[in-house]
Amino acid sequence: MKPHFHPALINDPLGDPGLVVHFLHESRALLFDLGDLSAVPNAVLLKVSHVFVSHTHIDHFIGFDRFLRTVFGRGKTIRMYGPENFIDNVEGKLRGFTWNLVANYNESVTLDVVEVHEDHLLTARFRAIDKFKKTGEAREPLSGGVILDEPGFSIHTAILEHRVPCLGFALKEKFHVNIRKDRLESLNLAPGAWLNELKRAIHEQRTDDWPVRVPASVNGKKGFEERRLGDLKRDLVIISPGQKIAYVVDTVYNERNNRRIVELVRDADVFYCESPFIAEETERGRERCHLTSRQAGLLAREAGVKQLRTFHFSAKHSVRTGQLYREAEEAFRG
């Protein structure tokens, strides 16, 4: 089975935190945190449809400018999520530049900014052609922490403690559609973009009669024919449980917060978790509102995740990265 979502940390564990999630066979990606993005090629940033910012400490938000610079003038609408005060933070960034020349661009960029609160979302729009003036402010209710819900996947969030609110995130694929390669061959069907259409129709729960365009040779030339979705599902598809990828940074180990983290990341296939400090630095962790390696491992263990990836190590521990990994893994494995 080929997973649909391919997550990768942006920097090494001592660099600014950030995660990019690539979509299989689709020109699309999700970005978690906007720290130093110099290691991310423009081609990847141009695939990003949604950005999820945990909080706006500089190591999680300094990359905003690079991101905007890259997507500017491409006619895109990007949706950005962040915690309390996020709309002000984005507005402040945008006001730091002079936008008198934006009229020279036919295609510009629109940022739809979403601020996450316990029971509601605040949204605002910043369009380059408006010189990034804030427009369209609105408020909508939020329940269950689901901030994005698409046919194929959803994004869940929890507001965590870091002296300021800090968002943890989990991406959940609703179910996974596997295409049987052996059947493709025996049915003489070539793989291609139509398989994405097929998967989309299944995720959108179309009826069995839904027509899917399948490549075929028509009068000796390459063309398409329509097949019933129900037949293709029966012949080509195996449905399996979806992936879950969780991302938690900059937060503290205490009972209330742990409950929120464990609930958010439960059963994740991969749990990306910060661990700036070594196991014995619990006091330092509490003071600075960060996790130790051992605490990251304990949380992963309690949540029953399959794989733990720790990162966002303190620069002070640049020669102890092995110890940070080991302590986390020991606590995780018990």
Question: Shortest Cβ distance from residue 60 to Zn ion (Å)?
Answer: 6
In eight-state DSSP terms, residue 269 is: S
Among 36, 59, 84, 281, which residue sits at the site for Zn ion (rule: CB under 5 A)? 59
Question: Shortest Cβ distance from residue 326 to Zn ion (Å)?
Answer: 22
Residue nearest to Zn ion (CB): 57
Question: Shortest Cβ distance from residue 168 to Zn ion (Å)?
Answer: 13
Residue span 227-256 as binding mask against Zn ion, x where in contact by CB under 5 A, dash where not:
-----------------------x------
Question: Shortest Cβ distance from residue 274 to Zn ion (Å)?
Answer: 7
> Of the two residues 63 and 242, which places its CB atom closer to Zn ion in the complex?
63
Cβ contacts of residue 236 below 8 Å, gap of 6+?
Answer: 179, 180, 183, 184, 187, 189, 198
* Among 328, 246, 315, 326, residue whose Cα is nearest residue 13: 315
> Of the two residues 161 and 269, which places its CB atom closer to Zn ion in the complex?
161
> Of the two residues 244 and 309, which places its CB atom closer to Zn ion in the complex?
309
The answer to whether 301 touches 327, Cβ cutoff 8 Å, is: no
Task: Say whether residue 57 binds Zn ion (CB under 5 A).
Answer: yes
**In degrees rounded to 5, what are phi and psi of residue 99?**
-115, 30
Task: Say whether residue 288 binds Zn ion (CB under 5 A).
Answer: no
- The stretch near Zn ion (CB under 5 A) out of 51-59, 120-128, 171-179, 240-248 is 51-59
Buried-exposed string 13-35: b where 16+ CB fall within 10 A, e elsewhere: bbbbbbbbbbbeeeeebbbbbbb
Q: Which residues form the interface with Zn ion (CB under 5 A)?
A: 57, 59, 250
